[in-house]
C-alpha cells in the first residue's frame, strides 16, 4: 500500500501487517497511508472519470471543498472549505509540481489562486492535507493544502475536440516521445466559450506545456515549461432587486465592459535522488504573470456620473527554490525518520495598481505600488515508531518575511519584516481491526498583503490608518479515525478546530486593508469511498462546520460567507463493456451574509453527469451534462450597498451570480 509522509522513508523497515486494499480509479486513502484522517490522495483514473465545467473545479476532488465563480471564467475561482469563504485562495495553499499557485500581495486578493494555466488531463495525482499540522506546509495552508503532480509521459498521443452549448469549443493535442534517455511531453490546449450570459463572455484561452523527464520517481528529474494566456468579458454579480423588478435578466450584466486578461509563463525543474543518507529532493521555479481586471460591483454608488468600475493591474515575477533531505535512523531500538528542508520565494511586482475607469478607460489612480516580498522557511520533521501500533510525527518550521513597498502615496512607502515559528505534533495509533486513529495539533499562519504592512493613509479617503500585522498566527487541532473494516469501503471521520488571531485581509477591490476580529471554527467531516466491485465506485462526503468571531460585537459574531454544510454524493462506472459513466451531486449549504445572521444565502444543489463510450481501442466519445436538472441557484451571494443608475440613494441588497443552466458538451478523443 502507499505510505506517505516522513514515515515512508522507513516503511520497508517497519512493514504494515495489513494487506493492501486494491482500489482502482479511486481515492488512495488506505489505512496506513497518511498521518491524519483528513489527509489523502486522488489518482488520475478518478480525475479522468468525472467532468469539470471549469479548470479550477479539479480541486473539488478534495473532500469538503467547494469551487464557485462570481465573474468571468478567466478570473480565479472562489473557494470554500472548513468554515471558510477562502475568497480566491487565502488559507488554502495550492501547488502544481512544486510551484506555488497562491499569489501574495495580489492586485485582486491575497492568496489569489488561478488554476486556468493547468491542463487537467495531465494531473497524475492530487495530494491533499487539511489543517496546520504539517511542517512542510507554510503560508496559506491553515485550512489545507493541495499538491497537484503532473505526468511525465503518455501511453499514447492524444487528439481531442470538445464542443457544447454557448459556443464552447476546446481542442487538445498532446504526445510524449523518447528523447535520449528520457521522455519529452508536449501539449497544446485552445478553448473558447461565450457562456449563457447576455453579454457574451468571449473567453479565449491558450495553454501550452513542454516537459522533459528522466529516471524514476525516487531517482530522476524533470524540467517543465508552461504558458497560458486568456481574455474575456465578465458578467459579475448582480442585485436581486433589479432581477425581481424585471429591469435585469438573470444572466444580464449591469456593466457590460467588465472583463479582463491574464497570462502566466513558467519554467520549473525538480529532482529526486537517493543518496547514502536517504532521499534528497529539490525544485526551483521562475514565473512571470500578469493580470488586468476590470470590475464594477457597486455600479453608481461612488460616482453617479462615471460609474464605479475599477481596474486592478499587476505584473509579477516570482523566483523560488526548495530542498529537503530525508534520512532514517535508530533511537535506541526504535525506527525513526527525519526530514529537514528549506523553502524560499521572491516576488517582484512592478506595478501592482488600482485605477478608476469607465468602460475600461482610466481617469484616476487610487494607488500604484512596486512591491518586493521575500520569504525563507526552514522546517524539520521527525517520525518515530514507538510501539508496533503507535507512531508520532513531531515537527516545527520557522519563517521570515521581508516587505519593501514603493508607493505613489509617499506615506505608504516603507520596509518591514516579520518572523514566525510554527510547532506541530501528531499521534497515529493502530491499526486494530483495520482501523487507525489520529490526534493532530499544529500552528500555522497566513501572510497579509505587503501593501498593508506599511500603509499609514487610506488610498481612497487619505485618512490615517494603522499598518496590519504582516503574519497572522493560526492554531488548529483534530482527532479522527480511518477504517476499512467493511471490505471495499474506506471511511474516515475527523473532528477539527481552528483559531485565527485576526482575519486581517487586504481588500483588493478597495485598495485598502480591512481589519476584523479573531475567529474560531470547528466542525466534523465524514468521507466514504466504496468499491462495490466490477468497476462500480461510490463516494459520499459530508462536512459540517461552525464559524464565529471570538470577540463579541453588537454587529454580531457570524462571519459573512462562512460555509456551514457541504455534501457530495457520486457514483462511477468504469469499463462496463465499452461504456463508462459517472454522476455527481454537490450540495452547497446556506451561509450568513451579515454578522447578525439576519440575511442568509440560499443553498445550491447541482448534479453533473458523464457518459462515455469506447468506439474502439483508440477512439472514445464522452457526453458531459452540467446542472442536469437545470436548477436556478447561485454560484455566490453577497450582501452590500449598491446604487443603480436612476436610484436616488444606495440600497443594501443581496447580489448574486447565477449557476449556469443545463449545459451539454460532447468530446471526441483519439489516441495515436
% residues pLDDT > 90 (the chain): 87
Q: Which of 31-35, 97-101, 268-272, 376-380 has the lowest mean pLDDT?
A: 31-35
With respect to residue 509, please indicate whether it lies within any of the assigned structural domains: yes
**How far apart, in whole angstroms, are the C-alpha atoms of residue 525 and residue 210?**
39
Helix (DSSP H) and strand (DSSP E) numbers for the chain: 3, 35
pLDDT exceeds 80 at position 417: yes
Parallel, antiparallel or unpaired: strands 259-274 and 219-233: antiparallel
pLDDT, mean of residues 408-432 = 97
* pLDDT score for 386: 97
290-343 per-position pLDDT tens digit: 999 999 999 999 999 999 999 999 999 999 999 999 999 998 999 999 999 999
Q: Please state the φ and ψ torsions of residue 361, each to the nearest 5 degrees.
A: -100, 120
% residues pLDDT > 70 (the chain): 94
* pLDDT score for 515: 66
Report CA dihedral (500, 502, 506, 512) to the nearest 10 degrees.
170
Note whether 153 and 175 are within 8 A (CB): no
pLDDT, mean of residues 349-360 = 97
**How far apart, in whole angstroms, are the C-alpha atoms of residue 307 and residue 113?**
28
**How far apart, in whole angstroms, are the C-alpha atoms of residue 127 and residue 455?**
37
With respect to residue 483, please indicate whether it lies within any of the assigned structural domains: yes
**How far apart, in whole angstroms, are the C-alpha atoms of residue 198 and residue 608?**
24
* pLDDT score for 504: 64
pLDDT exceeds 50 at position 13: no
φ/ψ bin of 551: left (φ > 0), alpha (ψ from -120 to 50), beta (otherwise): beta
pLDDT exceeds 60 at position 7: no
Cβ neighbour number for residue 346 with a 10 Å cutoff = 16
| CATH number of the domain where residue 221 is located | 2.40.170.20
DSSP β-bridge partners for residue 265 = 227, 288
Q: Please state the φ and ψ torsions of residue 55, each to the nearest 5 degrees.
A: -60, -45
**How far apart, in whole angstroms, are the C-alpha atoms of residue 497 and residue 478?**
6
Residues 6+ away with beta carbon under 8 Å from 209: 119, 122, 174, 185, 186, 187, 224, 225, 226, 227
165-194 per-position pLDDT tens digit: 999 999 999 999 999 999 999 999 999 999
DSSP β-bridge partners for residue 185 = 176, 211
* pLDDT score for 428: 97
* pLDDT score for 220: 95
- Closest to 178 measured CA to CA, from 214, 221, 140: 214
Q: Which of 38-47, 290-299, 607-616 has the lowest mean pLDDT?
A: 38-47
Report CA dihedral (560, 563, 564, 570) to the nearest 10 degrees.
160
133-158 per-position pLDDT tens digit: 999 999 999 999 999 999 999 999 99
* pLDDT score for 513: 55
* pLDDT score for 503: 78
526-585 per-position pLDDT tens digit: 999 999 877 899 999 999 999 999 999 999 999 999 999 999 999 999 878 999 999 999
> Quick check: helix, strand or coil at residue 635?
strand
Note whether 9 and 412 are within 8 A (CB): no
Note whether 391 and 403 are within 8 A (CB): no
**How far apart, in whole angstroms, are the C-alpha atoms of residue 583 and residue 627?**
11
* pLDDT score for 509: 55
Q: 353 versus 32: which is more confidently predicted?
A: 353
Enclosing domain of residue 375: 6-671
pLDDT exceeds 80 at position 258: yes
* pLDDT score for 18: 32
Cβ neighbour number for residue 370 with a 10 Å cutoff = 16
Note whether 550 and 517 are within 8 A (CB): yes
359-407 per-position pLDDT tens digit: 999 999 999 999 999 999 999 999 999 999 999 999 999 999 999 999 9
* pLDDT score for 32: 80
Q: What does pLDDT average to over the chain?
A: 92
With respect to residue 1, please indicate whether it lies within any of the assigned structural domains: no
When divided into structural domains, the chain yields a total of 1
CA angle at residue 39 from 35 to 45, to 5 degrees?
A: 125
pLDDT exceeds 90 at position 72: no
447-495 per-position pLDDT tens digit: 999 999 999 999 988 999 999 999 999 999 999 999 999 999 999 999 9
Amino acid at each position: 500500500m502507499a505510505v506517505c509522509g516522513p514515515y515512508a522513508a522507513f516503511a520497508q523497515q517497519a512493514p504494515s501487517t495489513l494487506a493492501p486494499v486494491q482500489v482502482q480509479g479511486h481515492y488512495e486513502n488506505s489505512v496506513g497511508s497518511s498521518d491524519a484522517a483528513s489527509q489523502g490522495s486522488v489518482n488520475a483514473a478518478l480525475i479522468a472519470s468525472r467532468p469539470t465545467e471549469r479548470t479550477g473545479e479539479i480541486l473539488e476532488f478534495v473532500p469538503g471543498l467547494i469551487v464557485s465563480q462570481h465573474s468571468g471564467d478567466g478570473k480565479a475561482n472562489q473557494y470554500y472549505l472548513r468554515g471558510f469563504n477562502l475568497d480566491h485562495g487565502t488559507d488554502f495553499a495550492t501547488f502544481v509540481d512544486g510551484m506555488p499557485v497562491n499569489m501574495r500581495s495580489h492586485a485582486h486578493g491575497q492568496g489569489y489562486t488561478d488554476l486556468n494555466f493547468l491542463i487537467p488531463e495531465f494531473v497524475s495525482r492530487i495530494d491533499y492535507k487539511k489543517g496546520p499540522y504539517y511542517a512542510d506546509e507554510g503560508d496559506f495552508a491553515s485550512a489545507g493544502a493541495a499538491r497537484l503532480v503532473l505526468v511525465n509521459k503518455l501511453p499514447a498521443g492524444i487528439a481531442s475536440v470538445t464542443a457544447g452549448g454557448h459556443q464552447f469549443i476546446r481542442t487538445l493535442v498532446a504526445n510524449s516521445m523518447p528523447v535520449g534517455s528520457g521522455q519529452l511531453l508536449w501539449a497544446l490546449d485552445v478553448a473558447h466559450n461565450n457562456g449563457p450570459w447576455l453579454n457574451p463572455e468571449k473567453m479565449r484561452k491558450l495553454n501550452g506545456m513542454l516537459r522533459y523527464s528522466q529516471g524514476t520517481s525516487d531517482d530522476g528529474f524533470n524540467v517543465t515549461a508552461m504558458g497560458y494566456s486568456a481574455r474575456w468579458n465578465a458578467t459579475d454579480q448582480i442585485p436581486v432587486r433589479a432581477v425581481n423588478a424585471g429591469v435585469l435578466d438573470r444572466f444580464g450584466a449591469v456593466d457590460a465592459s467588465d472583463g479582463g486578461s491574464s497570462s502566466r509563463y513558467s519554467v520549473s525543474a525538480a529532482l529526486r535522488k537517493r543518496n547514502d543518507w536517504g532521499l534528497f529532493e529539490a525544485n526551483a521555479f521562475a514565473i512571470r504573470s500578469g493580470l488586468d481586471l476590470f470590475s464594477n460591483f457597486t455600479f453608481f454608488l461612488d460616482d453617479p456620473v462615471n460609474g464605479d468600475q475599477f481596474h486592478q493591474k499587476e505584473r509579477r515575477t516570482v523566483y523560488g527554490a526548495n530542498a529537503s533531505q530525508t534520512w532514517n535512523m535508530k533511537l535506541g531500538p526504535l525506527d525513526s525518520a527525519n526530514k529537514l528542508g528549506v523553502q524560499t520565494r521572491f516576488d517582484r511586482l512592478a506595478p501592482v495598481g488600482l485605477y478608476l475607469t469607465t468602460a475600461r478607460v482610466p481617469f484616476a489612480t487610487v494607488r500604484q505600488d512596486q512591491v518586493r516580498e521575500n520569504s525563507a522557511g526552514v522546517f524539520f520533521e521527525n517520525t518515530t515508531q514507538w510501539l508496533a501500533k503507535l507512531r508520532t510525527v513531531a515537527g516545527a518550521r520557522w519563517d521570515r518575511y521581508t516587505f519593501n513597498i514603493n508607493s505613489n502615496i509617499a506615506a505608504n512607502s516603507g520596509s518591514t519584516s516579520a518572523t514566525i515559528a510554527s510547532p506541530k505534533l501528531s499521534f497515529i495509533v493502530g491499526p486494530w481491526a483495520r482501523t487507525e486513529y489520529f490526534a493532530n495539533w499544529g500552528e500555522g499562519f497566513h501572510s497579509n498583503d505587503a501593501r498593508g504592512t506599511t500603509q499609514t493613509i487610506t488610498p481612497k479617503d487619505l485618512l490615517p490608518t494603522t499598518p496590519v500585522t504582516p503574519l497572522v498566527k493560526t492554531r488548529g487541532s483534530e482527532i479522527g479515525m480511518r477504517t476499512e473494516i467493511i471490505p471495499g469501503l474506506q471511511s474516515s471521520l475527523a473532528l477539527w478546530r481552528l483559531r485565527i488571531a485576526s482575519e486581517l485581509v487586504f481588500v483588493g477591490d478597495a485598495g485598502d486593508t480591512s481589519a476584523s476580529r479573531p475567529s474560531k471554527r470547528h466542525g466534523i467531516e465524514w468521507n466514504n469511498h466504496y468499491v462495490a466491485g466490477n468497476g462500480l465506485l461510490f463516494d459520499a462526503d459530508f462536512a459540517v462546520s461552525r464559524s464565529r468571531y471570538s470577540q463579541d460585537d453588537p454587529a454580531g459574531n457570524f462571519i459573512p460567507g462562512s460555509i456551514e454544510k457541504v455534501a457530495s454524493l457520486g457514483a462511477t462506472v468504469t469499463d462496463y463493456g465499452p461504456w463508462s459513466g459517472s454522476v455527481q451531486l454537490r450540495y452547497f449549504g446556506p451561509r450568513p451574509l451579515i454578522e447578525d445572521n439576519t440575511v442568509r444565502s440560499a443553498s445550491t444543489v447541482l448534479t453533473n453527469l458523464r457518459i462515455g463510450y469506447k468506439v474502439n481501442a483508440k477512439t472514445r466519445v464522452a457526453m458531459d451534462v452540467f446542472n442536469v436538472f437545470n436548477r436556478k441557484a447561485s454560484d455566490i451571494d453577497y450582501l452590500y450597498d449598491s446604487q443603480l443608475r436612476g436610484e436616488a440613494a444606495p440600497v443594501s441588497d443581496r447580489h448574486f451570480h447565477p449557476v449556469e443552466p443545463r449545459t451539454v458538451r460532447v468530446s471526441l478523443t483519439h489516441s495515436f
